[in-house]
A and B are shown apart, each in its own frame.
Chain A
């Protein structure tokens, strides 16, 4: 039973470029959340997708956008990359259920994005 998988594992971009990160949720999960983790900090919530719609959003600019597909996989897109976007980007999946906050999140090992 595969857990959460993310691709690519590492990526190098330059300022102003655009990037797409991908996530496949754990089998049976229907909700995907994205996080940004700067070095030495805890993960920061970007947004959450359920039923192909963005349900919750953290304090991130519109340059950060996402998508969820019918098979529950998800993409994170970042436009006009800045040096400060260099971070580990984590995807987590969960089963929404009747009480979403009662559901554990399962994380992938992330995509390390470096901006030059």
Chain B
């Protein structure tokens, strides 16, 4: 019972920005929004997380809607190495992954 909804797959061109959406309409006030990505044959890699405010780090930006029912992971300039499955998850007590979004980067 994933608490988030993401598109199954997305495509983007190399060197262009990518916006990965996530819906979490049942989010509670104490749920943090986390994003991870998983490359083939590797464990998931932490990307970014936030609670209410937009967040930036060296990998990406996280835009959180004012009502917190949705968020968007932004990769500012996609490279071929960004091709992966991206998971948006809510963390309060238990951690529940959905199926994520498979991001394809076109050269």
Contacts and interface: CB of A to CB of B under 8 A. Distances in A.
Interface stretch (B15-23, B44-52, B68-76): B44-52
Contacts of B46: 104-107
Interface residues of B, number: 26
Given A90-B44, A101-B30, A101-B91, A44 B97 contact: yes
Given A41-B99, A42-B100, A44-B97, A101 B41 contact: no
Contacts of A105: 34, 36, 44, 46, 95
Tier of interface size on chain A: 20 to 34
Contact of A42 (B30, B43, B51, B98): B98
Contact of B95 (A33, A109, A110): A33
A56 interface: yes
Given A101-B30, A102-B49, A109 B97 contact: no
Interface string A1-17: 00010000000000000
B31 A101 contact: yes
A101 B42 contact: no
Interface string B29-42: 01110101000011
Nearest to A43: B97
A97 interface: no
Contacts of A41: 99
Given A42-B99, A43-B97, A102-B32, A107 B44 contact: yes
A108 B91 CA distance: 19
B81 interface: no
23 contacts: A4-B43, A41-B99, A42-B97, A42-B100, A43-B97, A45-B94, A45-B96, A90-B44, A92-B43, A92-B44, A101-B32, A101-B91, A101-B93, A102-B32, A102-B49, A102-B51, A104-B34, A104-B46, A107-B44, A107-B45, A108-B43, A109-B41, A110-B43
Instruction: Enumerate the 4 nearest inter-chain pairs by beta-carbon distance, A residue then B residue, closest first.
Output: A107-B43, A42-B97, A101-B91, A104-B46
